[in-house]
Amino acid sequence: MTTKRGPEDILDRLWARGRDFLGCRYVVMGGAMSWVSERHLVAAISEAGGFGVLACGSLSPDQLHDEIEGTRALTSKPFGVNLIVMHPRIEDLVELCVRTRVSHVVLAGGIPPGWAIKRIKDGGGNVLCFAPSEGMARRFIRSGVDALIIEGAEAGGHIGPVSTAVLAQEILPKVRDVPVFVAGGIGRGEAIMSYLQMGASGCQLGTRFACAVESIAHPAFKAALIRASARDAVVSVQIDPELPVIPVRALANRGTQLFLDMQRQGAARFRGGEISQPHAQLEIELFWAGALRRAVVEGDVENGSLMAGQSVGMVTREQPVREIIAELVEQALAAITSRQLREAV
């Protein structure tokens, strides 16, 4: 006679692989958001049973070292570090993560270099990277990556062209070699449950945590996200085909127009021979770093960048991290119970 599994047992079984890999109770990863995912928010996510991830962004090695040690002073639970592979000091940052024995390193912002993967793994760490397609997922696995994150265009910040739902359908049924975590547009536990049932090992959320009590984001930044709906989170427009820019999803404001102006100015200087194409592209990308800081740190929600995913409509109030995670788990369990009831009819 078989014993019917309860909702908790089913959820535990579905994300067991992700839990074992990350070392956390609930496989809810915090998306690495520049200026937002610092020691206080990351430690709060890990303390609540999730998996916090520090956003290195444009930080120097010394600044990242302070954040790593600061996080460890706040929690003894595991957490990760997100590194942008285009960072001019990426080698120093990788060495820092190895030296400080960071258990999980997320390599983002481009194709992770083979030397970085090898160095982190040789140093005892686990490597995660973002896979935009099944082909790239398999390429990364062959290169030694320990886990993958598939992030759809619904996400906030820099995004790819394909939706989360499509990526999940393309990759989850076929890629079983390593744990795969799903991100982009996720704001409720029912969505987490559906991706787990498709084969995901867990999910990553960013926008929900941006407005957590423990988030150091400026009150004006949080208020803007709380007021927003899904349709307010729009994708940036590329002006010049010879100056390709990675699309960014953020709330529409005056900063959106400033970015268009920035592109026009850069294109004019490039075409006039004043600066090179790489220089023009770098100036355009640096715009986002400064604009995001103005909004998150200084509270300039008119001229700064309000990066947010389309799940922003599900951010209705400021909540403690522990409450957010508990809510997500309760919703996932309720979804399991509902399915069991339907099957029993």
Question: Domain map of the chain by residue range?
Answer: 7-216+316-336, 229-307
Spatial separation of the C-alpha atoms in residues 325 and 320, rounded to whole Å: 9
The string of pLDDT tens digits covering residues 208-253 is: 999 999 999 999 999 999 999 999 999 998 888 888 888 899 999 9
Q: How many CB atoms lie within 10 A of CB 105?
A: 29
- For the domain bounded by 7-216+316-336, which CATH number is listed? 3.20.20.70
Give the tokens for residue 68.
């790593």
pLDDT for the residue numbered 1: 43
Give the tokens for residue 327.
């809510």
The full 3-state SS of 61-126, as one line of letters, equals HHHHHHHHHHHHHHCCCCEEEEEECCCCCHHHHHHHHHHCCCCEEEEECCCCCHHHHHHHHHCCCE
Residue 69 zone, left/alpha/beta (φ > 0; ψ -120 to 50; rest): alpha
Q: Which stretches in the chain have pLDDT values below 50?
A: 1
pLDDT for the residue numbered 337: 94
Spatial separation of the C-alpha atoms in residues 26 and 15, rounded to whole Å: 8
pLDDT for the residue numbered 3: 56
pLDDT for the residue numbered 246: 82
Which one-letter amino acid corresponds to residue 309?
Answer: G
The string of pLDDT tens digits covering residues 107-162 is: 998 899 999 999 999 999 999 999 999 999 999 999 999 999 999 999 999 999 99
